[in-house]
Copies of this chain bind each other. A is one copy, B any other.
Amino acid sequence: MEVMFLGTGAGSPSKTRNTQSMILDLRQEIQELWMMDCGEGCQHQILNTSYTLGKVKRIFITHLHGDHIFGLFGAISSRSFQGGEGSKLFIYGPIGIKKLVDNVLKITGTHLNYPIEIVEVNENDEFNINRFVVKVKPLQHTIKSFGYIICQEEQLGSIKVDALKNIGLKPGPLYKEIKTNNEFTHNGKTYLSKDFMTDSKKGINIAVLGDTMYFDDLITTLRECDIIIMECTYLEGDYATARKYGHIHLNDIRMIQSECQMSACILTHLSNRYNNYDLQRIINDSISTLPYKTYLASDFKKFKFINHK
């Protein structure tokens, strides 16, 4: 389970940060690539990665602001020529996205050579996608904005081969049955499967949030998450300004981390006002003092999530 950021800036692109987009690479788990948001130029960014648009199976849009969606039209259009032919694409986003995409494709005479299904989401919707559940959570921004909580199914433990050999059971078809059934029979004796398997592991839950200001229910949403990927447009400065524009301030991140346990927190959608010198100073002075491991995203930075539980 990996993410690569394709755009990590806020509002407009800068020379160093594109507008919002990331790839969630679930190929190891379910052979799917997902894209979270699709700011203008995200198809340009992908050209500099090992991913191709044709392999993207699902695109989740957190909200309809341009810096999160103006790349969608070009990306789905180019997908036709990047291995997407005949391969269905699912697009999830707030109400309005279907009309938006349909209108743009129609007026610009854009023909896709693959089917698309546009799913308009509502708060608290849940989508079962293979071995994941995606939960749609409401945020508070200047327009309707959502967080997607991507919950991996519990990961079954693995077979204790030595223990099975001790009861005279060598690797074979029965091993699969042990994994799926609670008990199994061997040489006329019944065994509990769990005695021959390592403990199952809770899956990883990843929160990918759209733009939002802090609000109390956010804590409830984030409490179940191991990895929190969220905007932090305002890394310093006046807190009231952040709230006025419906964005997160680093003070909010500190508050969230005092209430929620997490493995890591990745901050993106950083205001273009911060140059590299500012960011390093903020990391040294503030980010490094947060309770949990907290990273600032940058374009093309990749994070790999490993389940240690």
**Which residues of A line the B interface, CB within 8 A?**
11-15, 18-19, 40-41, 43-44, 47-48, 64-66, 69-71, 73-74, 77-78, 81-82, 96, 99-100, 103-104, 107-110, 142-143
Contacts and interface: CB of A to CB of B under 8 A. Distances in A.
Contacts of A74: 12-13, 19, 40, 66, 70
Nearest to A71: B40
A47 B110 contact: no
Contacts of A43: 12-13, 40
Number of copies: 2
Contacts of A142: 109
Contact of A66 (B13, B41, B108): B108
16 contacts: A12-B78, A15-B47, A40-B41, A40-B43, A40-B44, A40-B71, A40-B73, A40-B74, A65-B108, A66-B73, A66-B108, A70-B108, A96-B107, A99-B103, A100-B108, A103-B103
B65 A109 contact: yes
Nearest to A109: B143
A274 to B, nearest CB: 16
Contacts of A143: 109
Contacts of A65: 108-110
A43 B71 CA distance: 12
Contacts of A41: 40-41, 44
A92 to B, nearest CB: 16
Which of A74, A81, A99 lies at the interface centre, i.e. has the most chain B CB atoms within 10 A of its CB? A74
A159 to B, nearest CB: 47
Contacts of A48: 15
A236 B109 CA distance: 27
Nearest to A76: B66
Given A11-B81, A103-B103, A108 B64 contact: yes
